[in-house]
Every structure is written in structure tokens, then in C-alpha cells.
Amino acid sequence: MAEPTVTLKYETTDVFTNVAFGGNPLAVVFGAEGLPDATLQKIAAEFCYSETAFVLPPADPKHTARVRIFTPVAELPFAGHPNVGTAFVLVRQGEAFGRPVDTELSFEEQAGLVEVSCLEGPHSTVANWPEGVVGAVLSAPQPFATHGTVSAAEAAACLGLGAEDVVGEPVIGSTGGPYVLAELASAEALERCRVAPAAFAASAAMAKVGKVLGYLPPPGAKGGGGSDDLQLRCRMFTARGTEDPATGAANCALLGLLASRRAGEGTLRATIAQGVEMGRPSELMAEADYTGGAVTAVRIGGKCVPMMCGELRVPAG
């Protein structure tokens, strides 16, 4: 007898880009209510994207949905591009769980409530694209926090670099999930970054976090001076031996870190380029509100491009 199956709907979108085959691809899956966690994990492994988002009914009907986020190997409490992409997909669909979806959404996640606002305007690089929703901006679910430092040598090794390529002691920062944030000494060092899973395994501190963002700030990004409008470059690597083309959560933590070093009161804004070396260029727009070294809010967003839609047939149990 054939094993009973359930049919799920899915859509994919490229996130943090306005061109197809750029940015970070995301699968958004519907209809997974009641399926065991092991099946959700297998679906994420089947897509083999950096993350897959499952849209489920919210516990509180005031919210848009409950969103669970899986990498190919584990569930995450929070991630950036799944929230941006899921909001984009839901608003384009126009409804969720029998209710209309507005351009202001709220997602229940392990890390807390994630508020998302959609971006509207022309999407001129996509043929026959009507004016309307072109992307989204999320507010990080937790305040920016630091969780100590790691040595320059350990972080550098996980980027395939030497200790001399990293400035100071990298900070472990979070707005819902931890990332090692390593400032790089040069654009040439950024170019030389490589996956190095063995280096993660050799360092208890790096293995515990499992993710490192190497970033290249412009002059004035540190300290109390400089412009509040930055152009940043970064690359992000994982203990699984992968590079991510666009990492919203890591860049939320990075903006929080840079804003925490500012004197006075204001909003630090950054345009962040990631994924360039991978051939999937991404553009992330980030903001962090700060007052005298305290970071009060962090936001990140960008554009999205719809790519695929279809059905999954998976075991019912």
C-alpha cells in the first residue's frame, strides 16, 4: 500500500535584489500544519537553500502568521531574508489563513515577534512588473546585545585568513541570533575569504556560534565621528562550509554594533553589499537608532524578485 501523502504549496523568491538570480533564494512553504519537525527539516534539506520558511497559523489572531525557519540542517530562532521574503510573498498573495494581508505584517517566531513593513514602488528591472510591493523591511525582534569576543586568530581562520587580516577582537553580536562580527583590514582580505569548516571545528568559541561575518567598514564607521550614512561590504561563512549571499540577521547585529559605538543620538544608515564574490550580488538597506551608545532599534530590508511556485508531496506522518 502506498504511503499517504500531503500536498503543500510553495513559492520561491530571490531576496535583497531586484534582478532574477541575484540575492539570497528563499522557499516559502504553506500547509505544513501538523507535520512533524523531522519532515520540515527534510523539506528544507530538499530545497537546500540557506533557509526555508514555513508559514503556519498564528497563536494570536492579531498577528499575520507563525513563521518557522529552517536551514538544511537545523531550525533558527530568527533570520533576516526569510522574513523579508515571506512578507513579500504573502502580500503578493493578498491573504493568509482566510484573512486579507496588509502591507504591515507581524510574524511569531522563536526569537520573538518580528514586525515587517512592505516596500512599494516601481520594480523597473523586471519585465512587465506593475507598481506595488517590491520588498520589505523588518524590525529585529530583540535588542542588540553583545556576548563577548573571540580572538582575531580564531575568527580569521574561519574566514580562511590570517590574524593580521582582522582588526581588533571580533565581537559576538545578536538581535535574535548570534554572529561573530570580524572587521577586516583591507578589501584584499575580503576578497581572499574562503569557507573553512575545519577551522570552526578546531575552535570551541567559533563552533558554538557557527557563523562569522567578515565586514569592511568605510572610514568613520567606528567611534563617535563620521557620517551616519555608510557603504559597507561583507561576506558571511558558516561552520557547515557554506557562504551566504545575503544575511539579514548578521547585518542587523553589525549595524547594532556600529551604532553602539556612536556618541549622541541619531540613526545610523547603511547600504550593504554582500554576495558579490559568489556571483549573487545582494543589496541590504539597514538602519539602527542609537542614543548615547544604547541601540534602541535595528531594521533591515531590501527588494525581492518572485522566481518559482509549485507543489510538494510529502509523507503525511
Residue holding cell 530568527?
78
205 sits in the region (left: phi over 0; alpha: psi -120 to 50; else beta) called: alpha
The Cα 317–Cα 315 span in angstroms is 6
Active site residue 51: yes
Three cell numbers, residue 89: 510573498
Chain centroid to CA 27: 13
The Cα 14–Cα 303 span in angstroms is 9
The Cα 74–Cα 268 span in angstroms is 32
The Cα 182–Cα 168 span in angstroms is 8
Choose, from 11, 51, 109, 154, the residue flagged as catalytic: 51
Which residues participate in catalysis according to the annotation?
Answer: 51
